[in-house]
Structure 1
Amino acid sequence: MVIPVHDVNPARRVPWVTYLLLIVNFLVFLRMPGVAGSATGEIGPVQLCRLEAFLQQWAAVPRELIHDRLPRLVPTGDVGTGPFGPRCLVGPPAYDKSPPLSVLTSMFLHGSWLHLLGNMLFLWIFGDNVEDRLGHVRFLLFYGICGYAAAYGFALASADSSAPLIGASGAVAGVLGAYLVLFPRARVWALVPFLFFLPLRLPAWVVLGLWFGLQAVYSYVTGVSQAGSVAFLAHVIGFVAGMLIGWPLRRGTLPPPELHGAQ
């Protein structure tokens, strides 16, 4: 998989919404129980139980989205003793939760530093140009629509799943899909693994096309095997949603400066 690090496609205005999304994602992550203090994502039993309770309350759960109701028992955040060691206790929900609203909150939750930094890297590189093309308010709405499409699309395919769905991946995938149709010829500096990472300047359609292809393959493999903890299908759905929304806006989009004479 190629790792993008910079695109040669300057924006005409300051991407305030992209900056705001980056800041909010980092601030929320730092407030999550346990994960921000662990570089590896490994946390102790107490923090793990608190994190499970936190995610159950604020993350999107496919079963809740489809049936629009909470389970009778949820993690309480407390730790008990079981035959095989510490275990997380469960009890009736002590909170009110709106499943549709949980999609919004889940878009700002991440399970590890790697999860957060990966999403924010792609948003940083590609978000400014899509925001520049859509405008600040429309970009914010676009971001939310892609996130909701990804979450509900995944939930429809996994209606019985009670695993929390977290991360900005679906919304960011929508940004990538829109970028692909709006700026397919923009040049992107990327690290390409070949014995070691080689920096190459590639067309955006190559970088994002490869990314989408891998997500589609992973989605199929994990769907067949029922394995994996990454919602690749949500990435695919978010990307397609971004392409569909961005497609009508292609006309009138200026090509990157280096492609029409400017350096």
Structure 2
Amino acid sequence: MFIPLHDRNALKHIRRQYVTLGLIAANVITYALTSIMPETVFELGVYGLGFISAVAFQFAELDPSLVLVPEQATYVTYAFLHASWLHLGSNMLFLWVFGDNVEDAMGHFRFLVFYLLCAAAGALVHGLVMPTSEAPLIGASGAVSGVVAAYLMLHPKVRVWVLVFMRFPLPLPAFIPLLLWIGQQFFMLLFDTGSNVSWGAHVGGIVAGGFLVVIMKRRNVPLFDRSLVTPRAVEHRLVPVDPTPPKPEKKPSPVHWGR
């Protein structure tokens, strides 16, 4: 539907979005490593680190030779694997545009916890929607969906440049494209049952992100852009005021030409 390009939303509480950058780097490095591995090794990683609903809900058991991490850890590890550069690029672009301001609103550590919880919520809802599925779930979409929901609740009025229908760059208030995108995820969950896209993971991340941002944001950060917060880089200085009233200026006498 649309691709986010840029938002004009300066950081107010942190100097740099270290966690957002770190998450992007972790995903890119993981994809780079898996892309140069033999296909059999990549499949081992997908089954060992991906989230498998049938295994999580005890409908199936994973071959012990494929187990790489404890079963509970796959609620998070799946979010760092991607099937293609396009899959990776779309998720990281959303995280790049929207993640920095959500991190700014929460702080570094809480944002990291928020991101991982949204990933876990995405896996959980995916499992509830498809409890007997033996296909591994991979991708950061669930976590990124939580970031999008949080951004919408924090900054719905901020202008975001988006590429509409892959052709038209438009600056729109964030609530227009983001509400449409979120609505699409719920619609596709109900009606696109045969797709290889996990709409359930998206919806799980959205619901978790909308709930968690309320309790994990900084106390002085408002929801829905209700007030402006002065950036940390701006200093308030008291300017001394001279109590003596200024002397009235003498008006020049008029000049008469002739009599």
State the TM-score, normalizing by the size of structure 1: 0.78
Q: What residue is the counterpart of 1:67 in the other structure?
A: 58
What does residue range 68-217 of structure 1 map to in structure 2 within 5 Å? 70-72=61-63, 93=65, 95=67, 97-193=69-165, 197-217=167-187
1:136: how far off?
0.2
Q: 1:159 to 1:261 in 2, by over 3 A?
A: closer
Is residue 228 from structure 1 mapped to residue 195 from structure 2 by the alignment?
A: yes
Q: Which moved more, 1:63-72 or 1:176-185?
A: 63-72
Contact 2:7 2:160 in 1 (8 A): yes
Distance 1:17 1:54 in 2: 24
1:207: how far off?
1.3
Q: 1:4 to 1:51 in 2, by over 3 A?
A: same
Q: Which moved more, 1:180-189 or 1:50-59?
A: 50-59
Of all paired residues, the percent bearing the same amino acid is: 40
Contact 2:221 2:229 in 1 (8 A): no
Q: Post-superposition, which runs of at least 4 consecutive aligned residues in structure 1 deviate over 3 A?
A: 47-50, 94-97, 247-252, 259-262
Could you report, residue by residue, the CA deviation over 1:112-137 in whole angstroms, capped at 9, with x for unpaired residues? 00000000000000000000000000
Q: Which runs of 5+ in 2 are unaligned?
A: 232-259
Distance 2:191 2:185 in 1: 10
1:54: how far off?
2.2
RMSD of aligned C-alpha atoms?
2.7
Distance 2:164 2:91 in 1: 18
Distance 2:29 2:230 in 1: 41
Counterpart AA for 2:57: I
Q: 1:155 to 1:132 in 2, by over 3 A?
A: same
Q: What residue is the counterpart of 2:43 in the other structure?
A: 52
**Over alpha carbons, which structure has the higher Rg?**
2
More strand by proportion, 1 or 2?
Answer: 1
1:65: how far off?
1.5
What number of residue pairs does the alignment pair up? 227
1:250: how far off?
8.7
Could you report, residue by residue, the CA deviation over 1:196-229 in whole angstroms, capped at 9, with x for unpaired residues? 7111111111111111111112211223xxx111
